[in-house]
């Protein structure tokens, strides 16, 4: 599918713009598909490149290698978008918290946020300073994509970034961040405000470097009560949406918000002014479309664990989700969260192929 939008003379026109068209609810010939964490540990070629880099952050900070792993899944599968290979914790790391990765334990911080004084000390990172390696990766990937598919940039939400910064890493009970929320809410709001400003600057720099769409991952918004979600997560995502560059290279730059376990708040998320709302697998797509699908596009929402199933079962699930959405554009097919590291790559291939094959009937004029 060719784009009719004039291109930047230094950048080739998009050969496949299904993904951007679907986010704008424009007609498409088939439902576009990409996968969260599509460049990652389920691919043997990714493991080889990471071994070459030495460790995860070294891979993120090497523009050529980050570009290589971004492109790897596109060589295997007919995906409709590439997503920048990076990590949501780049901003806290640039704030001086000392990010490192413990084998088998995930990300940790040497200098977590413990009190208001810690919050007051941190500044807004310069996206072309401390975070220039991310922008270098965006520029390199955009160049090497040669207009094949759009490039997605991303960030964690302020609430999700704050949970890691205050907890010192991953958490199951979120006691430290909730203690700050309820015992010293002013300190947490100061942190969230700094993070929102940082995300605006960071994503706008990604857009300037070549990202054609951006996504905000609110991984831990679903651990909050409805009232606290509005106060500590959603209002800051709304601030980000308001501050983003929304046009580049002569076309709209769509923004997608994704709150895991956020199905009960779809209307409020859509009210932020975002272009699309991401769904996990706990919300039925037909119900979500009935609630908000006339206002925004929807992204999702197959359970990633379905990729362990037989090819027949995967195709059946794809067919069911497509049927739930129904006719017309405005759906970007994705998993409801990131692909699991031990999924057979050939099963991911079955998934992608099934989306394109089975969706065409829903896009006939």
Residue numbers belonging to the annotated binding site for substrate: 37-41, 87, 164, 219, 337
d(CA 195, CA 95): 10
Residue 120 DSSP symbol: H
Both tokens of 187, joined, read 């300190």
d(CA 43, CA 50): 11
Residue numbers belonging to the annotated binding site: 37-41, 87, 164, 219, 337
For residue 230, give Cα distances in angstroms to 200, 255, 267, 335, 337: 19, 19, 12, 25, 22
Catalytic residues: 37, 41, 50, 87, 164
Block residue for tokens 């596109």: 74
Both tokens of 292, joined, read 């908000």
Category of 328 on φ-ψ map: left (φ > 0), alpha (ψ -120 to 50) or beta: left
d(CA 146, CA 111): 41
Q: Check: CB of residue 310 under 8 Å from CB of residue 349.
A: no
Residue 301: cis peptide before it, omega within 30 degrees of 0: yes
The residue ranges of DSSP E strands in the chain, in sequence order, are 82-83, 99-102, 106-109, 151-156, 213-218, 247-248, 251-252, 255-259, 276-278, 297-302, 331-335
Both tokens of 302, joined, read 């197959």
Block residue for tokens 């697998």: 281
Q: Check: CB of residue 143 under 8 Å from CB of residue 136.
A: no
């Amino acid at each position: 599918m060719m784009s009719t939008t004039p291109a930047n003379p230094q950048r080739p026109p998009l050969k496949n713009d299904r993904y951007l068209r679907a986010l704008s609810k424009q007609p498409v010939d088939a439902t576009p598909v990409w996968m969260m964490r599509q460049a990652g540990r389920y691919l043997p070629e990714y493991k080889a490149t990471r071994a070459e880099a030495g460790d995860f952050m070294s891979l993120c900070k090497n523009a050529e290698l980050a570009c290589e792993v971004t492109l790897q899944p596109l060589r295997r599968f007919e995906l409709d978008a590439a997503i920048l290979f990076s990590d949501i914790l780049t901003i806290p790391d640039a704030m001086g918290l000392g990010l490192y990765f413990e084998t088998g334990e995930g990300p940790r911080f040497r200098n977590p946020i413990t009190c208001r004084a810690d919050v007051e000390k941190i500044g807004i990172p310069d996206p072309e300073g401390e975070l220039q390696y991310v922008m270098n990766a965006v520029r390199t990937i955009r160049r090497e994509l040669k207009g094949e598919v759009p490039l997605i940039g991303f960030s964690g939400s302020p609430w999700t970034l704050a949970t890691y910064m205050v907890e010192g890493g991953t958490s199951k009970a979120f006691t430290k961040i909730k203690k700050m929320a309820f015992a010293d809410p002013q300190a947490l709001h100061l942190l969230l405000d700094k993070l929102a400003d940082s995300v605006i600057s960071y994503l706008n720099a990604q857009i300037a470097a070549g990202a054609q769409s951006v996504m905000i991952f609110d991984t831990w918004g679903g651990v909050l009560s409805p009232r606290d979600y509005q106060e500590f997560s959603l209002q800051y995502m709304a601030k980000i949406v308001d501050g983003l560059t929304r046009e580049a290279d002569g076309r709209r730059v769509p923004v997608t918000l994704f709150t895991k376990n956020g199905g009960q708040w779809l209307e409020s998320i859509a009210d932020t002014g975002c272009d699309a709302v991401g769904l996990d697998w706990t919300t039925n797509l037909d119900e979500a479309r009935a609630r908000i699908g006339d206002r925004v596009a929807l992204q999702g929402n197959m359970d990633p664990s379905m990729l362990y199933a037989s090819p027949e079962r995967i195709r059946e699930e794809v067919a069911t989700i497509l049927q739930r959405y129904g006719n017309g554009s405005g759906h970007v097919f994705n998993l409801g969260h990131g692909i699991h590291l031990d999924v057979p790559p050939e099963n991911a291939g079955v998934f992608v192929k099934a989306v394109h094959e089975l969706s065409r009937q829903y896009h006939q004029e």
